[in-house]
Amino acid sequence: MATVAAPHPQRRSNAWALLPFGALALVSLTVGLVARNQQTGDGKAQGTYIELLFTSTIHMKAWVATAVALLACAQLFTAAWIFGKLPFAKPAWVNVVHRWTGRAAFALSLPVAYHCIFRLGFQGDEARVVVHSLAGCAFYGAYVAKVLIVKMKRYPVWVIPTAGGLLFTTLIAIWYTSAYWFFTTVDAGL
């Protein structure tokens, strides 16, 4: 008796990419508007649990953002492994590591984003800060877009690497204009 192969689901058209990238724009704009309306001034949080581990909120944000950037580098490495861009075979655990480093990076980014959005707000007094604010807004939009693409499946092959690359790029831009700047310009201590 002959076996019949299950039909492969057809890929979505390129027009379907408008949905997650539209969500990216909507979420980014929403985060930016919320941040713009939440600006409170100095952004200093006094008497918080942050002071148990760090000397200030800005030190916490810089070190946590650095941890998120390192997790993003692990994401980039495991994504390259998943898509066969590395010269060695992919073990079964790579997909799990990729998912969990992404989840950890997102979860770690939340306290930093909370402080940036609700204590500092969207700022535009110098070029570095404008780039940081715009990239910060775009990061959560890019995250939503990537999750939609992964969950909805069957997108053209270019869509997920594009969304992942955009997510990685915005995160590194955030890190470079904040934590890297802080460590090289202000202070590297805890």
Domain ranges of the chain: 57-184
pLDDT in tens, 145-160: 888 888 888 888 888 8
pLDDT over 80 at 55, yes or no: no
Residues 6 or more apart whose Cβ sits within 8 Å of residue 39:
120, 121, 122, 123
- Closest by CA position to 150, among listed 107, 102, 117: 102
How many contiguous H segments (helices) and E segments (strands) does the chain have? 6, 0
Mean pLDDT lowest among 1-10, 29-38, 60-69, 158-167: 1-10
> With the CA atoms of 127, 138, 95 and 114 taken in that order, what torsion angle do they form, in degrees rounded to the nearest 10?
90
Q: Which residue has the higher pLDDT, 28 or 70?
A: 70
DSSP assignment letter at 15? G
Window from 13-27, 60-74, 81-95, 162-176 with minimum mean pLDDT: 13-27
Average pLDDT score over the chain: 81
Distance CA 149, CA 164 (A): 10
Tens-digit pLDDT profile for residues 121-149: 777 788 988 898 889 888 988 888 888 88
pLDDT for residue 45: 45
- Residue 54's pLDDT is what? 66
Rounded distance, CA 145 to CA 151, Å?
A: 10
74 pLDDT higher than 90:
yes
